Amino acid sequence: MDYFIIDYNVEGQNTLALEDSIMQKGRPITAGSKMLDNFIAPINATVVDKLSNEYKIAGKTVMDEFGIPSFFSGESDEISGAIKAVVDNAVSFSLCNDVFGKYRKQAADNKLCYIHPTYGTVSRYGLVPVASSMDQIGIVCKDMREGFKLLSLIAGNDEKDGAMFSEKSYSYDNNEQDLTLAIPDSVIRMADKNVQDAIGDFAKNFKTTSLDLEHFNVYKQVMYILSCAEISNNISRYDGVNFGYRTSNYTNIDELYTNSRTEGFGYHAKLTAIMGTMVLTENNYKTYYDKAMKLRRLIKDGVSFEGYDIIVLPCDIGKDPYDNLSLYSLANLAGLPSVSFSYKGQGIQLIANVRKESSLLTAWEVCMK
pLDDT (tens digit, 9 = 90+) per residue, 39-55?
Answer: 999 999 999 999 988 89
pTM, entire model: 0.96
Q: Reduce the DSSP state of residue 14 to 3 states and report it.
A: coil
- Tell me the C-alpha distance between 246 and 136, whole Å: 29
User: Does residue 168 contact residue 158 with C-beta atoms inside 8 Å?
Assistant: no
Question: What structural domains and CATH numbers belong to the chain?
Answer: 4-214+302-368 (3.90.1300.10)
User: Does residue 225 contact residue 285 with C-beta atoms inside 8 Å?
Assistant: no
Question: What per-residue confidence (pLDDT) applies to 174?
Answer: 73
> How many CA atoms are closer than 13 Å to the CA of 3, on its beta-carbon side?
21
- Tell me the average pLDDT across 118-147: 97
Q: Which of 29-33, 274-278, 319-323 has the lowest mean pLDDT?
A: 319-323
Confidence label for 196 from pLDDT (cuts 50, 70 and 90): very high
Q: Is the model's pLDDT at 73 over the cut of 60? A: no
- Tell me the C-alpha distance between 351 and 330, whole Å: 9
Question: What per-residue confidence (pLDDT) applies to 65?
Answer: 96
- Tell me the C-alpha distance between 6 and 211, whole Å: 45
**Strands of the sheet with 338-343, listed across from one edge:** 4-7, 56-61, 15-19, 93-97, 137-141, 113-116, 338-343, 346-352, 310-314, 180-183, 207-210
82 phi and psi angles, rounded to 5 deg: -65, -35
User: Does residue 344 contact residue 193 with C-beta atoms inside 8 Å?
Assistant: no
User: Does residue 31 contact residue 67 with C-beta atoms inside 8 Å?
Assistant: yes
Confidence label for 3 from pLDDT (cuts 50, 70 and 90): confident
- Tell me the average pLDDT across 93-122: 97
Alpha carbon distances (Å) from 140 to 98, 145, 268:
10, 12, 24
The residues, ordered by sequence, that sit 6+ positions from 71 with a Cβ below 8 Å of its Cβ are 77, 102, 321, 322
pLDDT in tens, 220-276: 999 999 999 999 999 999 988 887 899 999 999 999 999 999 999 999 999 999 999
Q: What's 364's DSSP letter?
A: H
Question: What per-residue confidence (pLDDT) applies to 176?
Answer: 67
Confidence label for 121 from pLDDT (cuts 50, 70 and 90): very high
Backbone conformation region of residue 120, classed left if phi is above 0, alpha if psi is from -120 to 50, else beta: left
Question: What per-residue confidence (pLDDT) applies to 72?
Answer: 58
Higher pLDDT, residue 242 or 100 = 100
